[in-house]
Amino acid sequence: MARTTLIAGNWKMNGRLEEAQALGRAVAVGSDAAFAAGVELLVCPPAVLIPPVAAALAGAPVKLGGQDCHAAASGAHTGDVAAEMLADAGCSYVIVGHSERRADHGEDDAVVRAKAEAAHRAGLSAIVCVGETRAERDAGRALEIISGQLAGSLPDGASAANTVVAYEPVWAIGTGLTATPADAQDVHAHIRAELRARFAGETAQAMRILYGGSMKPGNAAELLAQPDIDGGLIGGASLKAEEFLTIAGAAGA
C-alpha cells in the first residue's frame, strides 16, 4: 500500500514574528514542487505564531500544525491551548508526546493518549511521538520502551486518517548523532509490527511512521528510501527553508 510521504517541520520555540513570516513565505514559494512530487508538507510553529504563518502560507499546498495541545476542550488551564483552538486557527495536525514534552513537562503515556484523543475530537491528526533515550538503548531496551509507549499513547480509535507515529531516538536529537538507515528501518518495522498486532484491517499498513532523529539534507534520501520510513519530523533543518525543501525533494525523488 502506497503511503504519502509527510515532511513535517517542528519549529519548536524558535522564531520572532518577522522571521516566522519570512520562513513561511519561503516554504510556500518552494512548496509546489514537493506537492507535484506527491509529498505532503507540514509546518508546526509556536502557538502564538500560527496566525501569521497561516497568512504567509495562504494559497500554498502546505499544512499547518500545533506543537502541543491540552486534553480538555476548555477550562481553567492557564497557558494551555485546546485542540479546538488549533483547528480554529487553521491547523490540521498537532504533535503530541514529543520527547521534550515527556522530559521537560513530565508527560506520561496516559497524558499523551488523552491529548491524541483531544486531537481526534477536534478533527486534527495527531502526530504521536515515541522513542528511547541513550541509556535505554545501551541497555538493550529500545524496542521494549517503544512498544510500551505505543500501547499507552495510541488511542483505540487511531487510524491512518487521524494518526501519524513519529519515532524519535532521543539520543539523536540535537546531538549530531543519527541512527543508521538500517537501524532506523529496524525500529520502524518493529513499530509497524506493533500496529499490526493491535489494529485490524489496513490501519497498520496505511498509518505513516516518521523518522524524527535529526534528518538533514545529507541523510534524508537514504533514510526515506527505507520501506517503513514514511517521512520525517524535522527539527533544526526546518528553520531553514532551503534545507527543509531539500529534504522534501529527497522524499519526492
Residues labelled as active-site residues: 98, 168
Helices (H), 37-170: 50-56, 83-88, 99-104, 109-121, 134-138, 142-153
Give the separation between CA 251 and CA 40, rounded to whole angstroms: 10
Q: How far apart are CA 173 and CA 48, in angstroms?
A: 24
CA max distance for the chain: 49
Q: Show the cell assigned to 21.
A: 513570516
Spatial separation of the C-alpha atoms in residues 81 and 46, rounded to whole Å: 11
Helix (H) or strand (E) holding 174: none
Contact 133, 170 (CB under 8 A): yes
